[in-house]
Amino acid sequence: MHAYANSSRQRVWLAVVTGLWLGISAPAAQAEPNRAETGKLSVQGGAVRLMDEVYVLDAQVDYQFSAPVLEALENGVPLVVELQIEVERHRTWLWNEQQTRLAQRYQLSYHALTEQYLVKNLNSAVQQNLPSAEAAIDVLGQVTNLPLLDKRLLDAGENYTVRLRAQLDLDALPTPLRLPAYLSPQWRLTSEWYTWPLQP
């Protein structure tokens, strides 16, 4: 049974890899590719607030995965996305000082046996089961009460900036998928930095 499962998984990955290579080697279309084909990640909003002497982050990320990424998900390939968060202190005559830098990681996966999608916080191991890819991606995009840093680490009266971006972690893909994924713009998905001020 174990050998059969491994063989089945290898056939799935082989099909996904083949699809990636075909997509890479296909001639470029004359028309501009639409977002569903190329995918796009974007941070829609972010805010930091004080809760029990700790600054916590709330954010909204729009994950529009490309068709090949969604196809891989449906075929059992887990996806890992990473939120990169930075807090910098403004300095007039010198470069800004980095106060803290965090990486928050989530895994999105599909389980064919239960027909459920799983969103797992890889930092805390908290997870949720969802009935559809759309619902899972919506949950993935909602960030609430994420601890950022202790209030005591920021100086009152100073000006700080919070930066946030999201990216699909290609290093977390199964080994056979990594090289074609790195070569495909449909897999190299990273949002622009979203920046806003923070004043303690």
pLDDT of residue 90: 78
**Region 1-28: what's the mean pLDDT?**
45
Amino acid occupying residue 129: N
Q: How far apart are CA 185 and CA 9, in angstroms?
A: 25
Whole-angstrom Cα distance, residue 91 to residue 16? 49
Strand order in the sheet with 54-64: 40-51, 54-64, 142-150
Is 80 exceeded by the pLDDT of residue 146?
yes
Q: Encode burial over 43-71: b for 16+ CB neighbours within 10 A, e otherwise.
A: beebebeeeeeebbbebebebbbbebbbe
Percent of the chain scoring above 90 in pLDDT: 70
Residue 19 has pLDDT above 90, yes or no: no
* pLDDT in the model for residue 15: 45
Per-residue buried b or exposed e for 106-129, using 16+ beta carbons within 10 Å of the residue's own CB: bbbbbeeeeeebbbbebeeeeeee
Q: What secondary structure, in 3-state letters, does 138-194 show? A: HHHCEEEEEEEEEHHHCCCCCCEEEEEEEEECHHHCCHHHHHHHHHCCCCCCECCCE
**What is the predicted pLDDT for the residue at 30?**
40
Angle at 102 between CA 100 and CA 103, to 5 degrees: 165
Supply the pLDDT for residue 32. 43
By percentage, how much of the chain surpasses pLDDT 70? 78
Q: What pLDDT score does 12 carry?
A: 47
pLDDT of residue 24: 41
Q: What is the mean pLDDT of residues 134-147?
A: 96
* Nearest-angstrom CA–CA distance, 160 and 11: 50
Q: Which pLDDT belongs to residue 16? A: 52
Question: Position 99: which residue type?
Answer: Q
* Average pLDDT score, the chain: 84
pLDDT at 134 exceeding the cut of 90: yes
The reported pLDDT for the residue numbered 165 is: 97
Q: Is the pLDDT of residue 120 over 70?
A: yes
Q: Measured on CA atoms in the order 33, 137, 168, 45, is the torsion positive or negative?
A: positive
Q: Of the ranges 22-31, 46-55, 72-81, 91-100, which one carries the lowest mean pLDDT score?
A: 22-31
Tell which wins on pLDDT, 69 or 7: 69
Of the two residues 179 and 10, the one the predictor is more confident about is: 179
- Is residue 109 pLDDT above 60, yes or no? yes
**Does residue 56 have a pLDDT over 50?**
yes
The pLDDT of residue 1: 46
Per-residue pLDDT at 143: 96
